[in-house]
Chains A and B, each alone.
Chain A
Amino acid sequence: MALAKRGVAWAQMAVSKCMINGIGGFKKQEKSGLEWVNKAVTQNYPPALYLLSDKYRFGLASVLRKSQAKANELLVKSANLGYGPANVFLSNMHFQGTDGFEKDKDEAYYRASVAMALDGSDKAAAMLLGLWHQFPYEGIITEPSDYLACYYLNHVAATEDHGGMYSYLYCQSLQTLNKHLHNGPLSIPGFDMVPALFFWMRRSRDLGYSHALNQLKKWESLGQSLCANCSKEAQNGEKFKQCSKCRAHWYCSKECQVEAWGAGHKKDCKRARVIKFEDYLNAE
């Protein structure tokens, strides 16, 4: 509070957030909170501009009326001052053509790229760029890349995947890359992506993504019915042995398992747990 009174912008914004939400030992007092955020805004502090834009967009009980025009003006100002989250939000608005912004795919791509370039690790920007490479909607990216789809989605999935959706999407992008690399699905020991696909799909399921649960059930029932080495089909009720390390392949006999291990499954098992995409791609 002392710093806020002294005119330190980030402290004014912190006090404002605490007052608006009634946290950190402050009573909920939205009007005073708004006054503090306005003080930070007068100093052109980008996070405060973004916060106030948000308050104008959604309104603040009886204290602040919704105003899309004012919200957009503050958002653009914050984005133009180089605030990453504002650029990502603006990119989303232009992509969807909502909240008073024109649908403009070039501007959407540009804003997301700026946000990514600003600190090199913006997860929200990586998420947008990854999705646009993975699903080239309306040609937003003229030359979508399977590698960059993997790279960006992995950046989100590996660090901040609440709910497991990005592990699922990364898993999908790996499948697409596998098709791109080998002109179709491929499972040759030593070059097999299946253990890695199982790893990411399980991670997605464990984080609570329901689509991953269904997909995993399908893959497991398919895998259990076929020996991964000799392609022998399981007879009624027959249970094949599962690789205990990657739990992605099943074998009809110990001999098949040993043979596959020597032929290259050992490498696939080890590689499957590599989290970072670059390291995975370059792993032996």
Chain B
Amino acid sequence: MSEDSRAQAPDPRTGQEGDKDQHQTDADGIQQQTDEDRLLQETENDTVDDLHSRAVIRLVSSQKKVGQLEFKYQNLVEKKRLSRALSIFEEEHGVLYSEPCLLCLDNIHVNVEDDLTEAFICCGGFISGPARGIARNQGWVSASALCVGDLLLKRPMQNMLQN
């Protein structure tokens, strides 16, 4: 078979896709033309002030979008920078001490902040802040997961600590 005859042999699938592409291109072309016509008609009726204010609004709108994207990017970079700083810290001073929460079993860095956990005055155990919130709201627990002591005892001690 010659090179030419191979090139001419049509693939039915390719033909269908080619037709679709052709239709799509035609539709895009028509759409673009109508858009241009519409814009031309609009601009013909507009005064210089209208054109100016429309251009300003487009500019400001795109500035706003750029701002949103810029913040997204800078926030991402900042988060990475913070996590890098924490990695360096852990390399220098050892891995942060953590203990699992008795309710949600998440590892909690118990010594990072005073209000990350809620300690049980009955037995000295603790649960994480989020677990405490969920447990209280849902009414799941009224007693310590360790010794079944009354969790309400914790409040006066926490108030004292805050003072």
Residues of A within 8 A of B (CB): 3, 6, 8, 10-11, 14, 17-18, 21, 23-24, 45-47, 80-85, 110, 113-114, 116-119, 122, 145, 147-148, 151, 177, 181-182, 186, 188, 190-191, 278, 281-282
Contact A23 B160, CB 8 Å, known A84-B112, A119-B112, A148-B78: yes
A117 contacts B96, CB within 8 Å? no
A sample of 8 more A-B contacts (CB under 8 A), given A148-B74, A181-B63, A186-B60, is: A17-B161, A21-B163, A46-B111, A47-B111, A83-B112, A110-B85, A114-B89, A281-B67
Residues of B within 8 A of A (CB): 56-57, 60-61, 63-64, 66-68, 70-71, 74-75, 78, 81-83, 85-86, 88-89, 92-93, 96-97, 109, 111-114, 116, 119, 121, 123-124, 156-157, 160-161, 163
A14 contacts B74, CB within 8 Å? no
Residues of B within 8 A of A82 (CB): 89, 93, 96-97, 109, 111-112
Q: Chain A: interface secondary structure?
A: helix
A188 contacts B56, CB within 8 Å? yes
B74 contacts A282, CB within 8 Å? no
CB distance from A52 to the nearest CB of B (A): 15
Expressed in whole angstroms, the Cα–Cα distance for A46 and B111 within the complex equals 6
Expressed in whole angstroms, the Cα–Cα distance for A11 and B75 within the complex equals 39
A3 contacts B57, CB within 8 Å? no
Total contacts A-B at CB 8 Å? 104
Expressed in whole angstroms, the Cα–Cα distance for A47 and B61 within the complex equals 49
A118 contacts B86, CB within 8 Å? yes
B74 contacts A147, CB within 8 Å? yes
Residue in B63, B66, B111, B123 whose CB lies within 8 Å of A81: B111
Expressed in whole angstroms, the Cα–Cα distance for A81 and B93 within the complex equals 7
A188 contacts B60, CB within 8 Å? yes
A147 contacts B75, CB within 8 Å? yes
Expressed in whole angstroms, the Cα–Cα distance for A170 and B112 within the complex equals 27
A181 contacts B64, CB within 8 Å? yes
Residues of B within 8 A of A151 (CB): 71, 75, 78
CB distance from A15 to the nearest CB of B (A): 10
Residue in A114, A116, A119, A181 whose CB lies within 8 Å of B116: A119
A-B contact pairs, 14 of them (CB 8 A): A8-B124, A11-B119, A14-B160, A23-B163, A80-B92, A82-B89, A114-B85, A117-B86, A119-B112, A148-B74, A148-B75, A181-B64, A190-B57, A278-B75
CB distance from A89 to the nearest CB of B (A): 13
Residue in A117, A188, A278 whose CB lies within 8 Å of B83: A117
